[in-house]
A = this chain, B = another copy of it.
Amino acid sequence: MNFDFSEDQEHLRNEARRFLEARCGIGVVRGVLDDGARSHDADLWAALVEQGWTALTLPEEHGGLGMGRTDLCVLAEELGRVLAPVPFASTVYLLAEALMMAGTAAQRERLKDIAAGRCIGCIAIAEGPGEPSPARLAAEVRGGRLHGVKLPVVDGNAATLALVLARNGGQVRLHLADLTDPSVTRAPVDTLDPARDLARIAFDGTPCEPIGDEGLVDRLLDRAAVLIAFEQIGGADRCLETSVEFAKMRYAFGRPIGSQQAIKHKLADMYVNNQIARSNAYYGAWALESGSDELPSAAAAARVAACHAYWYAAREGIQTHGGIGFTWEADQHLHYRRALQLDMTIGSPRAWRDRLFSALEAQADEEL
């Protein structure tokens, strides 16, 4: 039985944690949070690239290190812990994965740019309020040119290359579009998590090329769901640690508030949620790495559990800290905001609950 990270992976984690402690203190996060003009921390991004993090899972022939998705899960968890203000998920879990899964030989050449830090990715799906649905999609490719407005796009200001969901002939599929093209107009939009980048992007006849088939977007989101679950668990565990620490130190009525059952049981519930999320995420990692047929249900379960855990931990982390936890200067609200950001970045937990049920239905049909 080997249902845990390996010794090598724990080593990777220690390295990553040390690196991020040095390079991604809370000041780095607040630097982006407090400055509306900054989409991300460029120094941190450059340092990650230098460490080979964007190259970790890329094939060696494209300048990558050829490591596994489980290794990437380790980095994801550590990035989530420190609220890293960088477009890592958009670039590595989404763009690079799409290229590796479905890119033509020419398209896959872009992987070299990702490995070298010359390319930042994003995925552009939403076009306004409500979960996106193929039937309502307006963005369209006509004569190889993309027309439409995507709102919002996570990391849309920082990105150089976008995956864009658009109508093309009778199909709704992903396309690669270069965001530096003059036909592209983009601007930041105010977001619940100002430490992360959010954009409105208008395409007005932007050259683009399709990537993968109609099923790619769902397969891609399944994969990203597992990796983002680890970011969420990293954040949720950090909230738990901080809250436990505070509950031991903070006194009321002559004793630590952590000796009161109201706080004690709240933190026990937080721990339980985080463990439930972790176990589901491990199964997701196994399904991702092993190419299991169960990936859709495993990924959805990982995401649903992780969204719940992070939201609860962030929300009750503030409550545990009391008044001080509600101030701008305290770090609790950064997790509250990030929990919401990660909840919504690739489809809300609401949508993923439904997706989980559908995946379990499909599995049940298989079993019969």
Contact = CB atoms under 8 A, between A and B. Distances in A.
A262 B260 CA distance: 9
A265 interface: yes
Nearest to A263: B261
Contacts of A260: 261
Interface in A245-265: 260-262, 265
A149 to B, nearest CB: 31
A256 to B, nearest CB: 14
Contacts of A262: 261, 265
A261 B253 CA distance: 14
**Secondary structure at chain A's binding surface: helix, strand, loop or mixed?**
helix
Nearest to A261: B261
A337 B261 CA distance: 30
Interface string A269-286: 000000000000000000
A265 B261 CA distance: 9
Q: Give the one of A260, A261, A265 with max B CB within 10 A.
A: A261
A50 to B, nearest CB: 50
A260 B264 CA distance: 12
A88 to B, nearest CB: 41
A33 to B, nearest CB: 35
Contacts of A261: 260-262, 265
A270 to B, nearest CB: 16
A117 to B, nearest CB: 51
A262 B262 CA distance: 7
Interface string A3-45: 0000000000000000000000000000000000000000000
Interface string A222-261: 0000000000000000000000000000000000000011
Contacts of A265: 261-262
A265 B265 CA distance: 11
A265 B263 CA distance: 11
Interface of A: 260-262, 265
Q: Which 5 A-B pairs have the closest CB atoms?
A: A261-B261, A261-B262, A260-B261, A262-B265, A261-B265
5 contacts: A260-B261, A261-B261, A261-B262, A261-B265, A262-B265
